[in-house]
Amino acid sequence: MKYAVLGAGAMGLRYGILLQKLAGKTVDFVDTWEPGIEAVRRQGGVYVSRDHENRHLVPIEVYRPEEYTGNPDVWIIMLKQMQLEAVLKRCHEAGLFKDHQVVFSAMNGWGHFDHIRQYFSEDRIYGGTALVATVLNGPGDVDFIGKPGAGTMTLCSYTGDVTEIERQMHDDLQQANFNPTITQDLKGTCMAKVVFNSVVNTLCTMYQIQMGQFISYPGARDVARQLIDEAYDALERDGVKLINTRDEELETVDYVSRTGNPLHYPSMYQDMIHSRPTEVDYINGYIAAVGRKHGYVCHTHEFLTHGVHLAELAHRLHETQA
């Protein structure tokens, strides 16, 4: 199968480059971020490091939507929630989406499938999660965090049916070292990552620390448990059955922070320090909104949503004063 990655940021580059390099797949990149496009074309590819070492140039092809004439079998969408609607519309207007194509997205937060469904029928949509740490150092420069094979991901069809093309994607992603697991409940699968991010991404961003530094705090598990319990209380009221138990979710937070990616600054932190809007409204804010819909107030998630926005404001003020 041929792939096209929509969004040549940190995660999009990692997925596309490893599918190209390890699985031997043809992969194109489509993006709208001009500094990234210009850097890749000027360099003849993207510089790739692993854990800040062995920086080398990997040739890739990146296109603006209006330039792309390829016809992939699978679109991999790795954008920020705030970007998605406009980028999908631009690609649609350029005639990029075809009836035979399927789409896979492991974006953070929740809400992206509502936009994707405007362009792809439900039987052609696949989602999932990615516990994979990656940093975009700058335009055309990406750093894969963790040893080869570090991290895991899930893959699930929108309908819950396991299809032949899903099995093919699974095999390709396995060859690319993403350690995929097929599940059959899309929302329950994705919500497990939303809850994970509502703990680790949010707290590391507010306090500007690495994941390993967060979990080294003696009260980290207590804080994580409070956030997990609030999230599960809200989501269960909404009829969502998560794929992890509360205890399993807590152990995932502990393991990934302590052992999997202890030196990693999560993506929300990376957005904040580069003066980009964070996705907190689609993570903690989403959980809080679900709770309120059912008369249950997620006090901690609501507080942290405001906390991250205050941290964003503080960062902008410090930048102005510097």
pLDDT attached to residue 269: 94
> Are 105 and 114 in contact, with CB atoms under 8 Å apart?
no
pLDDT in tens, 122-161: 999 999 999 888 999 999 999 998 888 888 999 999 999 9
pLDDT score at 117: 97
Rounded-to-integer distance, Cα 263 and Cα 238, Å: 35
Q: What is the pLDDT of residue 146?
A: 85
Q: What is the pTM of this model?
A: 0.90
Task: List 29's β-bridge partners, or say none.
Answer: 5, 62
Please state, in angstroms and rounded to a whole number, the distance separating the CA atoms of residues 176 and 81. Answer: 25
Q: For residue range 206-258, list pLDDT tens digits in order.
A: 999 999 999 999 999 999 999 999 999 999 999 999 999 999 999 999 999 99
Q: How far apart, in Å, are the Cα atoms of 252 and each of 265, 283, 300?
A: 17, 17, 20
Strands 102-105 and 74-77: parallel
Q: What's residue 321's pLDDT?
A: 79
Q: Work out the pLDDT band at 166, boundaries 50, 70, 90.
A: very high
Q: What is the 8-class DSSP label of residue 22? A: T
Burial of 268 (0-12, 13-18, 19+ CB in 10 A): buried
Closest CA to 235 of 179, 284, 166, 305: 284
- Where would I find the H helices in 1-49? 10-21, 34-43
Average pLDDT, the chain: 95
Lowest-pLDDT range of 61-75, 191-205, 260-274? 260-274
The confidence score (pLDDT) of residue 119 equals 98
Closest to 112 (Cα-Cα) out of 78, 156, 155: 78
3-state secondary structure (DSSP) of residue 105 = strand
- Residue in 142, 136, 125, 236 with CA at minimum distance from that of residue 186: 125
Contact 156, 33 (CB under 8 A): no
Tell me how far the alpha carbon of residue 15 is from its chain's centroid.
Answer: 11
Q: Whole-angstrom Cα distance, residue 251 to residue 247?
A: 6
pLDDT reported for residue 322: 64
Confidence of residue 261 (pLDDT cuts 50, 70, 90): confident
| 70-109 residue pLDDT tens | 999 999 999 999 999 999 999 999 999 999 999 999 999 9
Burial 33-51 (b: 16+ CB within 10 A, else e): beebbebbeebebbbbbbe
State mean pLDDT over 2-14: 97
- First CA to last CA distance, the chain: 50
Q: What is the pLDDT of residue 40?
A: 97
pLDDT of residue 158: 96
